[in-house]
Amino acid sequence: VLLQVHIRWAQPSRFCSWFGGFGLLRPFHTHVRTFVRAAIESGVHYVDVAEAPGFVRQVQAFDEEARQADVALMSGMSVVPGLTALLAQSLHFDRADSIRTFVAPGTRGSRGLATVRSLLGGVGQPLRMLRNSREMIARGWSEPEWIVFPPPIGWRLQYLAIETADRDVLSREFDAQGI
């Protein structure tokens, strides 16, 4: 079901109260602060599927304000880092020294233009990494490493390709020293 909603930007809180919760997609991603603040003021929980670290950090900046209003803010609930966090949590540990994730686009179907642009957009770009509790900068498509995935996938050559919100979400949730 596709629902198109035309919003008068002067009334984001009305949008919150109509739908009881919401997430942001383009072009709304440029108004994250407006919508998150409206959700908190309206007492509405907020969930998004963001993967961009800067976007997730903007939402996380409202954490204390949301807690005081008893509003849940869940940003970054896409495959990376949302599914990663869910899988790590299912292992039932309170703290991890290091969490490493490897995500690869499927090999059996065609890759869409957005996937290709996203992956190639990371070439040579600075990536903020957390290693041994210290932030460092690596470059996109660097540090090749052979990884063994369970059958039927097998060996894959992986690179540090693009920056995702894993670093922020997983380090906060699991106190990991390396992401």
- Rounded mean pLDDT of the chain? 76
pLDDT band at 19 (very low <50, low <70, confident <90, very high): very low
Give yes or no for a cis peptide into 152 (omega within 30° of 0).
Answer: yes
Residues 85-119 pLDDT 10s:
778 788 877 677 888 877 666 666 666 777 778 77
Contact 104, 158 (CB under 8 A): yes
Please work out, in degrees rounded to the nearest 5, the angle formed at the alpha carbon of residue 48 by the alpha carbons of 45 and 51: 150
Residue 23 has pLDDT above 60, yes or no: no
Q: How many CB atoms lie within 10 A of CB 104?
A: 13
Residues 145-173 pLDDT 10s:
998 888 888 888 888 877 888 877 777 77
The residue among 46, 34, 48, 94 whose CA lies nearest residue 70 is: 46
The residue among 100, 66, 65 whose CA lies nearest residue 170 is: 100
- Report pLDDT for 107: 61
Please work out, in degrees rounded to the nearest 5, the angle formed at the alpha carbon of residue 129 by the alpha carbons of 71 and 112: 80
CA–CA separation, 110 and 63 (whole Å): 39
Which helix (H) or strand (E) segment holds residue 172: the answer is: helix 166-174
Residue 141 has pLDDT above 80, yes or no: yes
Residues 50-73 pLDDT 10s:
777 888 889 989 999 999 999 988
What predicted TM-score, i.e. pTM, was given to this entire model? 0.67
> What 3-state DSSP class applies to 120?
helix
Q: For the CA atoms of 150, 151, 152, 153, what is the dihedral angle to 10 degrees?
A: 30
